[in-house]
Amino acid sequence: DSGVTQTPKHLITATGQRVTLRCSPRSGDLSVYWYQQSLDQGLQFLIQYYNGEERAKGNILERFSAQQFPDLHSELNLSSLELGDSALYFCASSALPDGNQPQHFGDGTRLSIL
Amino acid sequence: AQSVAQPEDQVNVAEGNPLTVKCTYSVSGNPYLFWYVQYPNRGLQFLLKYITGDNLVKGSYGFEAEFNKSQTSFHLKKPSALVSDSALYFCAVRDGGAGNMLTFGGGTRLMVKP
């Protein structure tokens, strides 16, 4: 068990809808990362937060947004969903925003768009 | 920009034999390299990292990796494979920018046969 909790585990919705994925980092970790894993794109970094502030941004679509709250949990919001957004979304956390600590991953949220 | 290549989609090995999963990387500065393993329906699990120091890095579950700067490689190895090692393995390199963003290779499926 990595200590990173993601909810829900599975999400099924329709095109055009909006969903929110939630992540609780490991106790003591201040930085949270979001990744998307799909068959055609592989594992892609979306966005990173540290202590409530955005730290780095990757290949995140404008329809997607995220935030980190004062209690350090994070939410990834996906809107105007398209079939191609179907993927496994992972959250990871680390103690510090950079440096040499490994990132610890949750078990992911599987998003299916019908 | 940095990149990671895992040239083999799948590696097959018999139980008890040594295994190697290959990884090559490209970064502009000093590389910070990581190996992760993913079991079905689970998140990525950290195995080992290279930051600096000895070129041979030891990690979890008997895995080790050899850093070779001249060949820009970071191959994952294990002296004696177990059936339970069968999983998807990802090599990753850390971005040298402001965050701790990881760039992942496409993954290599390891199949260990009894």
- Beta carbons of A14 and A114 less than 8 angstroms apart: yes
* Tokens 């402001």, residue located: B98
Chain B residues with CB under 8 Å of A108 CB are 42-43
Residue A9 to chain B, least CA–CA distance (Å):
10
pLDDT tens, chain B, 114 aa long: 789 999 999 999 999 999 999 999 998 888 899 999 999 888 999 999 998 888 999 999 999 999 999 999 999 999 999 999 999 999 999 876 656 688 999 999 999 999
Q: What is the pLDDT of residue A34?
A: 96
Q: pLDDT confidence of A97, banded at 50, 70, 90?
A: confident
**Cα angle for residues A102, B101, B77 (degrees, 5° grid):** 50
Q: What is the pLDDT of residue B29?
A: 82
Tokens of B93: 């390199």
Nearest to A43 among B32, B51, B90 (CB): B90
Of B48, B58, B36, B14, the residue nearest A33 (C-alpha): B36
Chain A residues with CB under 8 Å of B90 CB are 43
pLDDT digits (tens, 9 = 90+) for A24-39: 999 999 999 999 999 8
Chain A residues with CB under 8 Å of B107 CB are 42-43
Residue A59 to chain B, least CA–CA distance (Å):
11
